[in-house]
A and B are shown apart, each in its own frame.
Chain A
């Protein structure tokens, strides 16, 4: 099956610094990538939808200036948490949708990134 990777798998940073998380589709081209946030024992909360070559669409309540998303190619999207604070500590998951028309309905998930802000 299709593989989506995320890097890093976990990161610890100091308050006020910025952290970049990469999401890559390894064996397919992704027209659309999604970024989710998940708190312990809760469901996935959609943060934003990104399309290759265009600006991301953010969900209501998500600060676009704080969570910068770049989808520069069909295989890479990045999420940058700017000026991170302890309340940004969470598990971040990306998913990618294959552009192939015959499997355009399936999303593939990355393994997630655990962010801890001290």
Chain B
């Protein structure tokens, strides 16, 4: 079974600075998807970024980018130019490539606070 580990329960960053959230995972599969979701105080889950394991290029979405290290099974999220609106819980998630009915496997989350 796949597992996802987020080792940083809480982090804080100054506004406009850069912060990196860590995520490691364990799987025996070669093809899969990795995600970062954001859950603000409203508790709506928002997809931040997605990475396909078969793609070597790291995904980027505006101020959000990932460092995907497949051999190390590491998938960190970098937030540049942090904004107050980035304050939220961030969850790393894994999904099998041949998904069918398989659900997302979530990490325990990292609570990020952006400080003015």
Contacts and interface: CB of A to CB of B under 8 A. Distances in A.
Contacts of B107: 43
Contacts of A57: 101
A27 interface: no
Interface string A25-38: 00000001010001
Residue with the greatest number of chain A CB neighbours at <10 A, chosen from B91, B95, B99, B101: B101
Nearest to B32: A105
Nearest to B100: A32
Nearest to B92: A43
Contact of B95 (A43, A46, A105, A111): A105
A49 B42 contact: no
B45 interface: yes
Interface string B47-65: 1001000000000000000
Interface residues of B, number: 20
A51 B95 CA distance: 17
A109 B38 CA distance: 11
Contact of B108 (A43, A95, A107, A111): A43
Contact of B101 (A41, A49, A91, A112): A49
Contact of B50 (A32, A93, A97, A106): A106
Q: Is the interface of A mostly helix, strand, loop or mixed?
A: strand
B42 A43 contact: no
Interface residues of A, number: 22
A106 B49 CA distance: 11
Contacts of A43: 91, 106-109
Contacts of B43: 38, 91, 93, 111-112
Contacts of A51: 101
Contact of B42 (A38, A41, A93, A111): A111
B114 interface: no
B63 to A, nearest CB: 19
Interface of B: 33, 37, 42-45, 47, 50, 91, 95, 97, 99, 101, 103-104, 106-109, 111
12 contacts: A34-B103, A38-B43, A41-B111, A42-B108, A49-B103, A51-B101, A105-B95, A105-B97, A105-B99, A107-B104, A109-B45, A111-B44
